[in-house]
Amino acid sequence: MPAIFPRWTNHIPVVAGLLAPLVGAGLIFAVWYWFSPKFTDVGYRPKQPVPYSHRLHVSDVGLDCRYCHNTVERAAHAAVPPAATCMNCHSQVKSTSPRLEKVRESYNTGAPIQWVRVHQLPDYVYFDHRPHVAAGVGCASCHGRVDLEDVVELKEPLSMSWCLDCHRNPEPNLRPLDQVTNMAWDPAEHDYDPNKDPMRKRKVQPPTHCSGCHR
Ligand code: HEC
Ligand code: HEC
Ligand code: HEC
Ligand code: HEC
Ligand code: HEC
């Protein structure tokens, strides 16, 4: 009796069985790599309701990030400051400037200024500033040189591959723990070895398993 299928087809199920997981893994990789906003969102620079400049307040006036984003070390979110923080100075400095009208209004009515969010992860991603700041990852490593910007711009894609690139090899992105808000401190220019830093009590181990960031 003639064979309907040639003999070699007997191997198809085995070969297909071996290839399927590889193809599956490849697809997952392709989906998160190519459909992550990496290639679209960087450069996002919305117009803000008040022309607040980080360049002026950080580089010229000399304020530390934590003067305004004071929850960054103790909460998941780095709170954007209320008008009262601005009024510490602007009740005297430029106190009648029309550019500060909305700040005065917010201070007097208590209604918050409607700042437009620049960095925003999807709800299904868990992110917390605290462990990053505590491990000595600088603000500049994730936000770029905010201190040189008049308008904050999205510098990094905030995609899964971006997070994982660092989580798999964090050491080149670490700095001394007291340099986190020093925007001019560039890890590439220093020969810093976190494993020899006596201020560190343990080796950092960022999660790379799915439930680390999807809880
Ligand atoms: C005088 C107060 C003040 C200081 C000091 C300050 N910021 Fe801000 N920051 C703001 C305000 C107000 C906003 C919201 C308006 C905007 O985006 O410009 C903001 C927005 C941001 C954002 C964007 C938030 C978003 O919507 O995604 C980042 C990132 C940021 N600041 C980082 C820093 C860093 C890093 C430093 C220190 C180098 C710093 N800031 C210092 C007041 C401040
Ligand atoms: C490891 C990367 C990383 C580091 C380091 C980092 N940020 Fe962020 N930051 C983010 C991400 C991601 C978001 C968006 C968070 C979200 O949508 O939940 C964000 C959001 C913000 C926001 C908007 C409010 C919020 O929390 O959602 C501000 C303000 C901010 N960061 C300031 C800072 C300052 C100041 C520092 C340094 C002390 C800093 N960040 C360090 C990644 C980082
Ligand atoms: C430590 C003091 C200080 C704090 C706090 C502060 N500023 Fe300022 N701000 C200044 C100084 C100084 C200037 C520059 C004044 C000048 O040009 O003579 C300025 C200028 C400005 C201007 C430009 C005003 C104009 O008419 O040119 C805006 C807008 C502004 N700040 C917004 C803010 C906002 C919003 C906050 C709160 C998130 C804030 N500032 C917090 C000190 C401060
Ligand atoms: C530049 C490096 C870097 C980037 C970028 C980065 N991380 Fe991390 N992440 C770290 C380090 C370092 C730690 C601390 C690990 C430790 O303390 O052992 C950490 C810790 C964490 C933790 C563990 C928190 C905990 O309490 O267990 C989570 C969750 C996390 N990161 C999520 C993210 C997400 C989501 C992104 C992308 C939006 C991101 N990270 C981007 C370096 C980074
Ligand atoms: C270090 C943090 C981190 C880890 C670990 C991580 N993810 Fe993600 N994941 C993210 C972030 C951030 C996003 C959002 C990216 C975006 O907005 O495009 C994301 C998005 C996704 C998406 C949506 C796809 C898309 O691009 O819209 C899926 C599916 C996903 N992750 C699955 C996984 C799986 C499966 C694992 C384990 C193999 C994993 N993630 C591990 C941070 C992480």
**Domain coverage including residue 169:** 116-213
Residue 67 lies in a domain: no
Ligand 4 centroid, distance to 133 Cα (angstroms) = 9
| Contact residues for 41 (Cβ-Cβ < 8 A; gap 6+) | 154, 157, 158
pLDDT of res. 73: 87
Residue 28 lies in a domain: no
pLDDT tens digits for range 143-169:
999 999 999 999 999 999 999 999 999
Closest by Cα among 155, 158, 135 to 147: 155
Residue 126 lies in a domain: yes
Our count of domains for the chain comes to 1
Residue 160 lies in a domain: yes
Which residues have any ligand 5 atom within 6 Å of their CB? 32, 35-37, 121-122, 125, 159-160, 163-164, 167, 207-208, 210, 212-214
- Residue 79 scores a pLDDT above 80: yes
Residue 194 lies in a domain: yes
pLDDT tens digits for range 164-210:
999 999 999 999 999 999 999 999 999 999 999 999 999 999 999 99
Residue 184 lies in a domain: yes
pLDDT tens digits for range 25-45:
655 555 555 555 444 478 899
pLDDT of res. 39: 43
- Residue 83 scores a pLDDT above 80: yes
Per the CB < 8 A criterion, the answer to whether 147 and 58 are in contact is yes
Q: Which two tokens stand for residue 122?
A: 């999807």
Residue 134 lies in a domain: yes
pLDDT of res. 132: 97
